[in-house]
Every structure is written in structure tokens, then in C-alpha cells.
Amino acid sequence: MDDFNWTDKRVVVTGGAGFLGRHIVARLRARGAGAITVPRQAEYDLREVANIRRLYAAARPHLVIHAAGIVGGIGANRARPAEFFYDNLRMGTQLLHEAWAAGVEKFVAIGTVCAYPKFTPVPFKEDDLWGGYPEETNAPYGLAKKMLLVQSEAYRQQYGFNSIFLLPVNLYGPGDNFDPDSSHVIPALIKKCLDARARGDRRIEVWGDGSPTREFLYVEDAAEGIVLAAERYNASAPVNIGSAFEISIKDLVGAVAAATGFTGEIAWDTGKPNGQPRRKLDVTRAEQAFGFRSHTHFAEGLRQTVAWYQANRPGG
């Protein structure tokens, strides 16, 4: 499907003003998509079905890419598990159902690596998704997003509706969320290191013991994978979107400290949770199904993320 033509497609990108969504929109525009609708919460609160119907009636999309979500790191997930479950669940299920009801050609659901069981054989294969309960600190969020996979399969079986379900690994890059109350690990560490330098602190504190591993995918690579899937993939079987690069939190902290110029002590708060012990995806299916491979080396992606934040952080 290399001849997929975006110029005659109307596209809705939920979350299109957010971190990942902005990069998806940029990729679509680079491919010639002209009619892109990005619903803003002030006008379209997508938790309410009436707003979804109003959005679809106005935009008349051929394609919907659902990248919106209530998201955050371990702290935010522990503080607001009910919100993370309910808001993500009703937003996703209603968006997909109303897309089918409105005759939308294709629905692209963006899931999360948090949907995987806490103890999943490494590398995570899509067939292992139902092998156990997710890691407790983000299970409500992960399960709410995972229901889009169940819905995709059910609507394809009963209605022949073309929807797909993608599982991006942890993302990072320019434009990430650096709010300490809701950010993920890389932006949180970058901010912590740069703030410590600015104050002259010689010590920072990090949650856990540093032993867990994570896989990180540069946001521009993730956007490319999602757009490729929108163009070329037409099945409900879930697909991992990752980089196949795994790093321990201990090594990650060292890399961020070096990239930000922080040379002080790293103190580990072992009373705080580690999260899932290991995360590394098997990315074979994405390459075979729609030709996606990540291209950005982690060190280069981290350098660009730090540079972006230094240029845009409050106070310069």
C-alpha cells in the first residue's frame, strides 16, 4: 500500500496537540494530508459521547487516529488510578464505537506498553498480552487502553469494522511533558538534573534501586510507525512499536546526568516502587506487517531532548 494517498483523506487526530500527537500531525502534513482535525478539550471533551458525535459530524473523517489519553508516570498513576481508568476507558470505547456508527473507514487506536503483564517473557511478544495482570502501579491505565484491543477485535468480527491497535513503548523527545507531577522518567530526570545544577545542589534523589530496565523510542520514530500502520496495516492483531533498545534505570540516570552536565551524587530511594522489572519489545511484527524500524540512536535522541528543554524551560 505504498500508493496510499493522504491528500483525499480527512483525518481526526485526538491528542493531536499533545506530545505524540503533534508529531503524528507533522508526519501527516509531510505526506500531503490537508484535512486534519485536532479536537481541543475546550471545545470537545472526548469523555462525553455528545461531543464525539459533534466532532465526527463536523470533521466527517475517513480516518481517526486516537492518540489522546490521561497519562503520567508512576506517581501520577498511584495518585489518580480511578481517573486514569475511567477517563481513558470511556474516551476510547466511545470514540471507536461512534467511528463505526458514523461510517469511518479506519480507526487507529494507540495503546500502551503498560498493558503487558508485570512478568512478561523478554522481549515482549504481542501474543503474551494476556499472560497475566499488569504492573500494579499503572494497571488501571494499561487495562483501560487494552480494552481498545478487545473492542477492535469484536467490532471487526461482528461489523467488519477496520480498526487497528498499536502498542508504543516508552516515548521521549523534544516537546515532552516536563511537569514533575505527571511526567515520565526521562523528562523527570532531565528536569531534576538541570534544576539541581541551577541551584548548585550536589545530590539528586531517584525512585527505586535502579535495577529495572526500559526500552525508549524517540517520538518522531513513533509517529512514523503509527502513520505507516495507518497506511499499510489492516488487522486487529496488536502490534508493538518500539526501538529494541533496552537500558537499566541506573544506566539511564547516568546517561541523563552526563547529557545535562550534572556531576553530583545519585541517591536511590529504595522505599519507592521500581515499576515493572523489565521492558523490551519484540518488534518483528511491525517490520514484517508495515515495514517499520526505528532510526534514532538513543544518545542522539537524548541530546536533542535535553537541548530542547534547555531552550524552552522556564527562565531559559
User: End-to-end CA distance of the chain, in Å?
Assistant: 45
Nearest-angstrom CA–CA distance, 279 and 142: 14
Nearest-angstrom CA–CA distance, 235 and 164: 6
Per the CB < 8 A criterion, the answer to whether 139 and 213 are in contact is no
CA angle 89/91/94 to nearest 5° reads 95
Strand-pairing partners, residue 216, are 170
Backbone angles phi, psi at 276, to 5 degrees: -60, 135
Residue 62 per-residue DSSP state: S
> Any catalytic annotation for residue 141?
yes
Nearest-angstrom CA–CA distance, 159 and 168: 27
Nearest-angstrom CA–CA distance, 252 and 245: 12
Nearest-angstrom CA–CA distance, 107 and 95: 9
User: Of 141, 155, 218, 233, which residue is the catalytic one?
Assistant: 141
Nearest-angstrom CA–CA distance, 95 and 88: 11
C-alpha cell at 252: 539511564
Residues noted as catalytic: 141
